[in-house]
Structure 1
């Protein structure tokens, strides 16, 4: 019994941060290592301390303000990809996100920062005033 429990152990891997321009779609990367199916796991994504996305038993719950803007790449769950896709990136989306995966008694977390590209190649016009 202990042998199968060790076999099922996994870790989460991610990047330190990703960048996006306002209005873009951005993916917050997070993967199970070794590649293990995440279909039967509970996946939570937090921004700060707020749970913004919950996947459990195939059911999804999204926090208001993120409804229709966040999703997992469900066809990739079988390969351990639990990355969060965020559509219509907004200034208010910048910050740190935590991916949490629970399977049985094992719980792993990984953090990824999301920041604006600081206006580089931004579609938003910028006006400077001389004083």
Structure 2
């Protein structure tokens, strides 16, 4: 299962500046505003520290990563150094002591991992000690996409996927590169029972061609599934190749056996003819 991380542009975020009028911030922390991850996969949560050329850290910075269930929540879990909920599931992306990469890798992504993540650093420079932070990263999670003919009606094609709730996540189905208008479109909110919603699109399955279902977050493609109707030759309805059984080449076997027999008979015939011919006196 293919999973795809959402693209984001790096922007330098000014967090803490020295409390002197006219001074400029010499340390910034960058992290992306938005990420997506497939359920069960690993995801990297980027965080980079940037120092101006005329600034130097006296000691190594102390890194903190925090997880908030949503952007408005004030309660958080420690992601790094991991609290009990994340023990064994989080590690540094770069373990070099002097690296500017303060990203962490979260393994085996679960539905409950969706939410916001904050990277913070305690920094000591020649000018003093202070704490600098990023601007929080929102992590969305999605499950495997189901894309096939509906069970109750073989002339309808359905695409369905479970995702964490975000109105910017949308499904679309196209045929040979052209978007189709769905017969039915739904966003089932199962949040009371499950930490996800189900996105669903249904279109007619009649014209031959390549049907593609795509999950987008804004304009970014997250994942997609392709279905050919009818399936290509040698491929069954599930996209698996059919294995045909070839007949045994008995004619070839017989021909190969006859060759030495014919040669032997020809030699015997020639011998008999030679013996029967009278010798001239």
TM-score normalized by structure 2? Answer: 0.35
* 2:54 is equivalent to residue 28 of structure 1: no
Residue of structure 1 in register with 2:138 after alignment: 113
* 2:69 is equivalent to residue 43 of structure 1: no
- 2:93·2:104 contact (CA, 8 Å) conserved in 1? yes
- 2:64·2:121 contact (CA, 8 Å) conserved in 1? yes
1:113/1:76 CA distance change after superposition, 3 Å? farther
Aligned-pair CA distance for 1:10: 1.5
Residue 98 of structure 1 aligns to a residue whose secondary structure is strand
- 2:66·2:78 contact (CA, 8 Å) conserved in 1? yes
Aligned-pair CA distance for 1:121: 4.5
* 2:94 is equivalent to residue 68 of structure 1: no
Aligned-pair CA distance for 1:83: 0.6
TM-score normalized by structure 1? Answer: 0.71
Count of residues in correspondence between the two structures: 112
Residue 48 of structure 2 aligns to a residue whose secondary structure is strand
1:52/1:24 CA distance change after superposition, 3 Å? same
> d(CA) in 1 for partners of 2:86 and 2:95?
21
Aligned-pair CA distance for 1:76: 4.7
Residue of structure 1 in register with 2:251 after alignment: none
* 2:35 is equivalent to residue 15 of structure 1: no
2:114 pairs, out of 90, 94, 106, with 94
Between 1 and 2, higher relative CO (CA 8 Å, sep ≥ 6) is seen in 1
- 1:25·1:85 contact (CA, 8 Å) conserved in 2? yes
More displaced 10-residue stretch of structure 1: 67-76 or 91-100: 67-76
Higher strand share: 1
> d(CA) in 2 for partners of 1:63 and 1:10?
27
- 2:116·2:137 contact (CA, 8 Å) conserved in 1? yes
* 2:109 is equivalent to residue 52 of structure 1: no
Residue 98 of structure 2 aligns to a residue whose secondary structure is helix
1:16/1:120 CA distance change after superposition, 3 Å? farther
- 2:94·2:103 contact (CA, 8 Å) conserved in 1? no
RMSD between aligned alpha carbons? 3.1
Gaps of 5+ in 2: 1-22, 69-74, 147-160, 163-197, 201-281
